[in-house]
Amino acid sequence: MNRRTGSDPERIMTQQYTPTEQGQHTQTTQQMQPTQQMQPAQQTQPTQGGMQSAQGSAQSTGMQSSGIRMGATGAQMGSSGMRSGGTLPQQYRAPLASVAEAIEVCGWCADQCIQEADPMMIECIRLCEDVVELGEAVLATVPRTSRFADEIVETFQRAAQACAQECGQHQHDHCQECATVLGETLAATDQLIGAGSQQRW
């Protein structure tokens, strides 16, 4: 009886095949789990790619629209610059050249007076500097027909007349030359009066 029980076929098959079936079930379960876990990743990858492509399209569209706006702004600036251009009227050319010469001579006269270190030349230096600075204002405002051009020209003429009188009192060569040039400039700048009331060219 013991020998028959020990060699029972059903027990042998149960002992041999049951662990195998459990192992197969376990292996099948383990193999299926990665597949189930990978499915969400496969579904989200196209979504992320679509988001990236949408963002790229939006960025490129924004860059294109910005470029269009910048191009339009540049075109507006260019057309504005063309409108502000023009030719200086002939009657202003010689007077403005005379003002430029007065600026150069007065600057040179002031430098010479400073080098001499003579206290008697202080007023000459100040008036020469006034002529230089006001003359630069004339050159800046008359060509663009500023509404304040006439006032600036008249102020320049007063400074030039005072400087010519002061320089005429000194025997230095630079002072005498400065007085002569300023006299010529005073006569020439009369043609600049009324520049502020002229139409823009």
17-31, 69-83, 139-153, 181-195: least confidently modelled range: 69-83
What pLDDT score does 140 carry? 96
When pLDDT is averaged across residues 85-103 and rounded to a whole number, the result is 87
What pLDDT score does 22 carry? 44
**pLDDT band per the 50, 70, 90 thresholds, residue 180:** very high
pLDDT above 90 covers a percentage of the chain that reads 46
pTM: 0.56
User: Half-sphere exposure of 15 toward its Cβ, with a 13 Å CA cutoff?
Assistant: 7
Evaluate whether 196 touches 146 at the Cβ level (below 8 Å): yes
What pLDDT score does 160 carry? 98
The domains of the chain are located at 1-34, 89-197
Span 25-84, pLDDT tens digits = 444 444 444 444 444 444 444 444 444 444 444 444 444 444 434 343 333 333 333 334
* Gyration radius from the chain CA atoms: 48
Q: Which has the higher per-residue pLDDT, 19 or 76?
A: 19
Span 3-13, pLDDT tens digits = 444 444 444 44
Residue 161: pLDDT over 50: yes
Report how far residue 54's alpha carbon sits from residue 59's, in angstroms, rounded to the nearest whole number: 9
Span 69-84, pLDDT tens digits = 434 333 333 333 333 4
62-76, 94-108, 133-147: least confidently modelled range: 62-76
When pLDDT is averaged across residues 143-156 and rounded to a whole number, the result is 94
**pLDDT band per the 50, 70, 90 thresholds, residue 198:** low
The CATH T-level fold of domain 89-197 is Substrate Binding Domain Of Dnak; Chain:A; Domain 2 (1.20.1270)
189: how many CB neighbours lie within 10 A of its CB? 22
Residue 109: pLDDT over 80: yes
Cα torsion angle, 185, 187, 188, 192, sign: positive
Evaluate whether 200 touches 145 at the Cβ level (below 8 Å): yes
